[in-house]
Amino acid sequence: MTDNPEILFDPGFDKTTSKTLNLFWFGFIIYSASLSLAASTVVNYIACQALQILGVIIFVPTAIILIQWKFENNYLKIFYILYCSWLLIVIFRGFLFDYANLKFMLFDAESGLFRYFVPLILLFPRNAFFYKKLFKVIIILGILFIIYDIVFHNNLLDLNYTNNAIKFTFENFTKILSVSCGFIILTFIYHPNRRIFLALLVIFISIGFAILRARRALLFMTISPLFISYMFYLYAGKRRFLIILSSLFIGLFLISYGIKVYNENKYGAFGLITGRLYEDTRTGVEKYFYEDMKAQDWIIGKGINGQYYCPGIDLGKLTSYRSMIETDYLNIILKGGLISLGLLLLILIPAIFKGIFYSKNMLSKAAAFWILLWLMELYPANVNSFSLNHLLVWISIGICYSNEIRNMPESRIKEIFLIQ
C-alpha cells in the first residue's frame, strides 16, 4: 500500500528542509502580495512585476528542492501521475514562446503557467512543521489583506461597477489574500484565540465588501467556511441540544434583523447586490462556448492558450476570441478537455469521502470540506489558479489520502498544533 511512508507528525523536522520551506513561502508571499497590489491600478505595474519575478526566483528552486516522491496510497499515486502527465501535455499544446505570451504566463495567476504546477505541493514533506508554517502564511496574507483594504479604501468603496479596474481590485484582494483564512476557521480547534479572531476579522471584512460590491461568487466563498465551521462546532459540542436550540433562536433573530436592514438599504448601500441578485451573467457566454467547441475540443481541450469565439462580451477588445470563461470547470475543459476534468475528479471525490466519512479528527474533515467547497466554486468563480486557496486543495488531498493523519486521535493533533 505504501512507498516508504514518512512519519507525518514526527517532531524531528530537518533544519535545512525547514529553512527551504521558509524560503518557498517567503517567495510565494512576495508573488501573491505584488500580484494583488498590481490589481489596485494605483501602484506601478513594472514595480509589481519586478517583485513577482523576485518571488518566482525564490519559490521555484525551493519548490524543486522540497519535492519528495512519496505516496501513501497507490490509487492516488496512479491518478496523480496520470493527471500531472496530462497537465504537461496541456502546457505544451499551443504554448507560444513570444515575449507577450511568456510575460502573460509568468504574471497571470488565473490563466498563467504556475497554476498547472500547483499539484506539486502534494509532494512536499507532510509534517507538523509544514502545517504550522502554512497556518502562519494564511495569517500573513490575511494581515496584508487588511492593510491593502485600508490603503486602497477609495477603490473598494467606489461603486462604479462599469470600471473593471476598480471592480477587480477587491476580487483580486479576496481571491489571493483573504479566502484562505476560511481554512483557519474550519480548523478553529487547533488555533489560539488571537489567530481565530484575526481570521474572522478578515472574513467578515471580505463579506462586507462582497455585499457592497455585489460579488456573489466571493460572497459564497467567504460565507461557506463560516457555515461549515459552525456545523463543526455543533458536532464537537457536548450540550448539542441546547446549542442547536439557542442557535435556532439566534438564527431567526439575525435573519429577521438582516431582512429589515436589507429592505431599508436595498436601494442605497445594497443597491448593487439588489440589482444583480437574479442577474444571469453566465448563459450568454456559455452559449458561445458550447457553439465553438467541437467534439475533439471537448475531449482533449485546446491547450494552454485555447480560445473560443465569443463576440460582444469584452467590449473594447480587438478580437472576439476569449482565452477564459468565468465558469471554471468549463475553463478546465477549454484547456485540457473532459480528460483533465475527469482525472481531477477521480482524485478529488475519493479524498472528500475519505476525509468526511473515514476520519477520526477535525483536521481531515476540514480538509475534505475545503476540497468540496473548491469543487463547488468551480461553477461561479475562477479558483483553478495559482493562489493559496488552490494550494490548500492539494495540501488537503494529501491529508485526506493519509491513513496516518485520518486515524490520528484528536487529542494528539491538538497537542501538536497548540505547542508553540
- Sequential pLDDT tens for the chain (420 residues): 344 334 445 544 577 888 999 999 999 999 999 998 887 777 777 888 899 999 999 999 999 999 988 888 999 999 999 999 999 999 998 788 787 888 888 888 888 899 999 999 999 988 888 999 999 999 999 999 999 888 887 777 766 655 555 666 777 888 899 999 999 999 999 999 999 999 999 999 988 888 777 677 788 888 888 888 887 777 665 545 444 544 455 445 445 544 444 454 444 444 444 444 445 556 778 888 888 999 999 999 999 988 888 886 655 565 678 888 888 899 999 999 999 999 999 999 999 999 999 998 999 999 999 999 999 888 878 889 999 999 999 999 999 999 999 999 888 888 888 765
**Cα 128-133-136 angle, rounded to 5 deg:** 130
The pLDDT assigned to 420 comes to 53
CA distance 297 to 289: 11
Please give the radius of gyration of the chain, using alpha carbons only, rounded to the nearest integer.
Answer: 22
Asked whether the CA dihedral 381, 382, 385, 387 is positive or negative, the reply is negative
> What three-state secondary structure class fits 280?
coil
Please check whether residue 14 is in contact with residue 68, taking contact to mean a CB–CB distance below 8 angstroms: no
Cell of 206: 471580505
Give the distance, in angstroms, between the CA of residue 74 and the centroid of all CA atoms in the same chain.
26
User: Cell numbers 442605497 label which residue?
Assistant: 268
The pLDDT assigned to 319 comes to 64
State pTM to two decimals.
0.86
Give the distance, in angstroms, between the CA of residue 310 and the centroid of all CA atoms in the same chain.
27
- Among 19, 9, 89, which residue's Cα sits nearest to residue 340? 89
